[in-house]
Structure formats: C-alpha cells, structure tokens
Amino acid sequence: MTTTSHTQAMGMILGLIGVTIFGATLPMTHIALGGFSPLFITFGRAVLASAAAAILLIALRRRWPKGQGLMLVGAGICVVYGFPIFSSVAMQTIPASHGGVVLGLLPLLTSIFAALVDGERPGPAFWAYGIAGAALVVYFAVRGNGFHLEMGDVWLFVAAVSASLGYVLLARISRDVSGWEAISWALIVTAPLSLVATALVARSGIYAPNAAELGAFAYLGLMSMFGGFMFWNAGLALGGIGRVAQVQLLQTFVTLAVSAVLLGEIVDATTIAFAAAVALIVWLGRKARIA
C-alpha cells in the first residue's frame, strides 16, 4: 500500500469511528427532549463539551492556533449552535429513524462545500453518484407525505447544511492542528455565548429530567459535540474532505439501529432498502476522481 493509500485508508477509519458516534445523535436528542427544551439542549451541551475541551487543552498545554480565529468562530457557529438547534427542533415532529435517512444528504452537501471553500474538484462521476444518492434521500423524505415536505424535514435539511459547512471549516483547521484541538478551540471561542445563553434558558428549559434523559444529554455534550469530532476532523483532514465525507452515509444505519433499540421505532423494510440503496450509490462513487 502506498503512503497516499495508507493515509486515505486511515482517514476512512477515523471518519467511520466519528460517524458511529454521530449516528446516535438523533435518537439521543429525541430522548433528551423529554427533559429539556431544544434551546437548553443546544447551549447546555455546548457548555458541557466546552468544559471537557478546556480541561484537555489545559492539561496538554496547547496554545491558541494563530491565524485561525475567524475560521474557528465560523465552525463553532455551524456545529456548536447551527446543527444542534435545527436538529432538536426537527426531532420534535419527525422520528429519529426517518431523520437518519434524511441526513443522507450530508455527504453531498459536505462535498459541495469542500469544492466551494476548500478547492476540491470532484470529477463528473463523483457528482453523478452524489446527486443520485441525494435524490433518493429527498424521495424518501416526501414519499409518505403526499410528496409534501414536513417542517421537520426542512429543519433537518437546514441542520445538514450547517453541519456540512462546519465540517469543511474544521477539516481545514485540522491540517494545522490535531482534530481534537480544532473542535476544542471552536468550543472555547463560543463558550462565553454558550454560558450566557444556558443561564438565560435554564429556568424554562429544564423539565425535571429522569436518568435516561440526563444520560442522553451527557452523550450529546461529551460524544456528539466533542468526542465524535476528534475522530471525524482527523479523518477528513487525512483522507480528503469529499472522499471521507461519503463514509457518513453509514451513519444512517447506526441511527436506524439505535432508534429501534432505544426508542422502539419500527424500522420497516422500505426504510432499510432506501438506506441500503443510498449507501450503495456512495460506495460506488468512493473511488471517483477528486482533484
């Protein structure tokens, strides 16, 4: 295996670990909504993740990455606030298993932002596979509603756009610092707003959560917001943003499995078939040319 192939393979592996962690995000959000409001989940989990990031940065004596301030702020807005608030609102009206398939748009959106922001140039075959996968996802989202989008689908699409742009910005930062440092500093620069907002919404945003809801909230802060990005950012930086982003289609299967186990949601054969079809398309396009 050449050095380039080894690097790409390592990027895929790290990306897959991150995707596995991210796959439980929507089901955990569904559970957490029983004890917390969407706004409290958004800001509170950011505070929890920021605390973990600060402890790690101080313990390992990491220094501020010079010249990355604006990019860190942009990434923080997208992944610390954008995706959590929009996905939390979406989870109030649509099942987590349904949302997991809708988020199959993430790889295509990430590839688009990689081309616009990072200068990657996928070939025609790559775009053809990506668009085909996205078309299947959109069809899945609207087929059961008389081909009308539910508001939950719209909010989830906005969440996917926010996450995709954030992924690209963090991946660029992760070429200069490690993946865990990139998300850590993004959390630190947004921490003041997170703390103030959490304090403002705490009184009306906490509904006497039980143990399961507290556990789900902890997962969202420590894993979805922090731990998963440690692997995901490193994977994107090593293997190429557009290529590794396609691994995220496997997140659909993780979400379907966790939704069935934790929420008792019925994952029917049609849902599995759509998820498999989308994943197959991305698998076929994984070796398409990207300059």
289 inside domain: no
Asked if residue 190 lies in contact with residue 84, where contact means CB atoms within 8 angstroms, the answer is: no
Q: Is 102 exposed, middle or buried (0-12, 13-18, 19+ CB in 10 A)?
A: buried
* Residue with token string 């592996």: 13
Q: Among 180-184, 245-249, 272-276, which range has the highest average pLDDT?
A: 180-184
Query: Between 235 and 246, whose confidence is greater?
Result: 235
291 inside domain: no
- Tell me the pTM: 0.84
Residue 146 confidence (pLDDT): 52
290 inside domain: no
pLDDT average, residue stretch 207-232: 94
- Out of 106-115, 139-148, 159-168, 248-257, pick the least confident: 139-148
Q: Is 252 exposed, middle or buried (0-12, 13-18, 19+ CB in 10 A)?
A: buried
Range of the domain at 61: 3-284
103 inside domain: yes
Q: Is 91 exposed, middle or buried (0-12, 13-18, 19+ CB in 10 A)?
A: buried
**Percentage of residues in the chain having pLDDT higher than 70:** 92
Q: Which of the four pLDDT bands, split at 50, 70 and 90, describes residue 192?
A: very high
Angle at 173 between CA 171 and CA 178, to 5 degrees: 85
Q: Which of the four pLDDT bands, split at 50, 70 and 90, describes residue 56?
A: very high
* pLDDT greater than 80 at residue 110: yes
Asked if residue 153 lies in contact with residue 218, where contact means CB atoms within 8 angstroms, the answer is: no
Q: What token pair was written down for 173? A: 């930062």
Residue 1 confidence (pLDDT): 54
Q: How far apart are CA 73 and CA 284, in angstroms?
A: 35
Mean residue pLDDT across the chain: 86
Helix-then-strand count for the chain, H and E: 15, 0
96 inside domain: yes
* pLDDT greater than 90 at residue 137: no
First to last CA, the chain: 20
Asked if residue 239 lies in contact with residue 18, where contact means CB atoms within 8 angstroms, the answer is: no
179 inside domain: yes
* pLDDT greater than 70 at residue 125: yes
How many residues are there in the chain?
A: 291
Q: How far apart are CA 180 and CA 140, in angstroms?
A: 34
Residue 252 confidence (pLDDT): 79
206 inside domain: yes
pLDDT average, residue stretch 9-20: 89
Q: Which of the four pLDDT bands, split at 50, 70 and 90, describes residue 105?
A: confident
What is the count of structural domains for the chain?
1
Q: Which of the four pLDDT bands, split at 50, 70 and 90, describes residue 91?
A: confident
161 inside domain: yes
* Residue with token string 């078939």: 273
Residue 145 confidence (pLDDT): 55
* pLDDT greater than 60 at residue 290: no
* pLDDT greater than 80 at residue 19: yes
Q: How far apart are CA 101 and CA 62, in angstroms?
A: 38
Residue 235 confidence (pLDDT): 87
Q: What token pair was written down for 85? A: 């608030």
Q: Which of the four pLDDT bands, split at 50, 70 and 90, describes residue 287?
A: low
pLDDT average, residue stretch 130-140: 78
